[in-house]
Each structure stands twice: as C-alpha cells, then as structure tokens.
Structure 1
C-alpha cells in the first residue's frame, strides 16, 4: 500500500498542469506535488496515476514515489488565490502526492540525448498504458541529477472512461508517431523481451491494490472495488503481452498534428552527411 502522510503546508500552485496541482509540505518533512480529488478531471486521473506510476516503478523506470496525502481544507484559508481556495475546499480528505524533485528541468529533446534502449523501454511502457500525453508538444518528463524521470500519468488507460468498450483495448495498436522519443530510434523489441515477462497477473494485482477504495467506489457496472481492480488487470495484462507488435511510427513532419517534428530527426543528419562526404572525397 502507498505510504500515507498529512499535508501541513500548502506552498504554491503549479500552473503548468490543467488540474492545478500544488507543491505541499507534509508531516514526514517531505515535499510533494499534490494532485487533488476536487480537480475537474476527477478521481480517475488519480487512479491512473497510481496504477501506471506504481507499475512503472516496479518495472525499473524512474517515476517519483507516490503517497496518499490527507488534506484538511483549513490549510488553504490563507491562500489569496480564490481558485486555489476553492480547489482545496473541494479536496478535503484523501488525495495523491508525488515526490517533488527540486531543481529538475523539463525534458528538452534538443538538449538531452536518450539511447535506443531507454527510449524503447519508455515507448513500450507508454504503449502498454496507452499514454496519449508524452508527445513532443508536452513530454511530461523531467531531467533530475542527469536522469530521465516520468511524470503525469493521468491521461492514460483511456478505456476506464468507458468500461463497456474496454475489452477492445487489450489488442488495440499504439501510434507512437507523436511520441517525444520517436526520433531516438527506440528499441521496442528489446524492451518488450525484457519487460513483458515481468508484467504478470500477480504484479498487476499488487499494483491495483495500491489504489484506495474511495477512488474506485460506485463505478457503474461493477459490484465491488475488487471486481473493478480485476478489470484493470485484465486489460493491462493483455496489452503487455503483445502491444509491441502493434506500435507504429509514422513519417515525421514539422506540421502534422499527430507526427513527431521533422526538425528533431534532422538534428542527427549533419554528422552522417559529413561521414559520407569524407568517404567519397568531396571534402
């Protein structure tokens, strides 16, 4: 189960996120990015954060530690921003905290090189969880102490917004043309060979058990929270087994709405051309 802490001080909002997460201090002396149950996206984004974040960590990917965070709305009485006050008032009780990475920088594909192996592991993982929010427009990755960290998994597992059609998602393809790491030659096959055998029913059951019952209750079509957890397990288990055979990369263009930017792939072209020119004596 996730460690539980109590928020002791609201520090500042993070306005980059649509759900208005905030930096919060807790009674364990830690600092966290808090995601609120009262945010407009609803509790399913928190469910996705827990299942995908915990799965990523169990597979050896760098995902900040997650905690359950108790919030007393009185903490926001001194907050001058009315929007933040209303969010805190609407989020009393159990919320989600993500370990804050001080001094981290947003991932810039022009400034940070990613090897094919690491790129393949991340693309494969995103394909399993059907992450639609790791694009070159919005990478949702941080560089901290020289390492790449994955954040913000609320826009994953889109099938849980329409459970009657969820059975079709186990075998659906994943278009990675828009993925921020598409131009780093991700070795998806090696990633699948390494990681897919680790995604067992037992592992997924343990990951799903980390989601608090309060965020799973009263889901239409399910009699119990355990029944709902099994539904998550079934879809992820099927996707992990074979999704690598259905990951596609379209041709990169700088203007296409669902393609990686062409200027990014071209950054590797000059050295290659220089080598060719040396071989044929043109330089």
Structure 2
C-alpha cells in the first residue's frame, strides 16, 4: 500500500507538507520485514506464549507451538484472525527470524542435531531487538523534520548492524539494553522535531491510558501516543498527522477510514492487532493486514 501524496491532506484550509521523504535505506528496510517462509519457526518455539494474550495456549519458551508442523510452518497461519489468535497476528520479528536462520546459522534449523537450540533461540531474541531498533531508525532517517539528526541516526544504525554480525554465541549473550537506551533517547529527539513540524504542543501527551476512548473528532496532529494504551480506542476517520505511535498498544483499536500515512513509528505488528478496513490509509512501508475488512 503506497502512501498517496501527503500534501493533499488539509488542516482547515491549510495544506500539510509531507513529513516523510524517500527512504535512504531501501535495501536495509526490505530485510526488516518478516519472511516466515525463509525461517524455521523460531518465534513458534523460542517465545513464551500465554493463551490470555491471544496465543493458542500457555507454553514455556523453548517448547514448540501445538500448531507448528514438522516442516516448521504454522498450520493455522491463514486463519489466525478467525481463531482469535491476535497475539500471533500481532507478533513481528522484524525479519530477525530469516536473518538468524540464513545468515547466523547458515540455513540450519533448531531441529538439526548439529544446532545448539538454546544458542539459536537466544540469537533470535537478541536479533529481534536489534531489528526492531533498526526499523525505527530507518523511518527516522526518512523523516524530513529530523534531517539535522541524520548523522546520529546513521551512526546508531551502523552500530546495530555491526552487533548483529556477531557469532551466534556472542549474539545470544549480548546485553542490548545500553544500545536500546541510546536509540530510545535519539528517537525521542527525532519525535520532538516531528512534533514541532506537525504543530503539536509540548504538553500534547495528556496521559497514557486511552483504552476504550472515543477519539473521533479529536485533534491528533503532533500528538504523543508513545507507549500509550489505545486498546479498543475508537479512531475511526481520524487523521494521525505527525502522531507518535511508538510502542502504542493498538489491540482492538478501530482504525477504519483513519489516515495513518503521516503518523510516525508505527510497526506492522501494531496494525495486526488493530481493526481496519479498505478505507484505512497506510504508510508506504506497511501492508494491510489480511484480517481487515475490505
């Protein structure tokens, strides 16, 4: 789904400029989208599942999901929404699964006798954290208001790319917290540049719990919903111009006919947890979830 011309958006009689420019990291961006067919079911084994969070059943980390086939494919992948498996639909490894399976372990799967499954799972979990940070940095590099911070964004991206090249045992043992703290601080500064360009107020946050709230008609330009609870929130028809959605919980949020083209730091998994339709306008880098209304 490609972003249509953002300057056509209006606020009152005012034409709004595009916040996103062309991505300088197209090749890298393609590696940050999950390709389940090129993985060996790592998320279906390495992760802890809780049935109450939209997964098939409670299971400990390291145990295969009941729906994982002997060929490491999900037997119910095409019916996740119908089965109410919203946790599965929302999960996004940001391409870490195929990266670890192909690049770190050279095509070796967790079932192979020569593989150390514990190290493989640890490398996958660390790579997922690194890829998630890279996902946000790739968007930050394309945000026009954050152009003054581009050199810092590039430096952090190079740092993450170097870390993900570590051998599997070192990658599995890596403490990614210091790196995450540096990236989070930078992304916060990027967001502040976007907020100013979008006309948001410095105090535009106004809380973090919007679960079940009717936000239709609210002025959301430059609004900070970072890490906010938007569970089952009603955002139908809203224009989220320059709205920060990093880490926001969108489970069950109603995005029908909403304009998300120029929101910032929205990830594919968040869309997978929300409700939308054919009228929902999406950023260029995101795909319309299969379970949405047409």
- Relative to the length of structure 2, the TM-score reads 0.24
- Relative to the length of structure 1, the TM-score reads 0.24
- Give the number of the structure whose alpha-carbon radius of gyration is greater: 1
Of structures 1 and 2, the one with the larger relative CO (CA 8 A, separation 6+) is 1
Give the structure with the larger strand fraction. Answer: 1
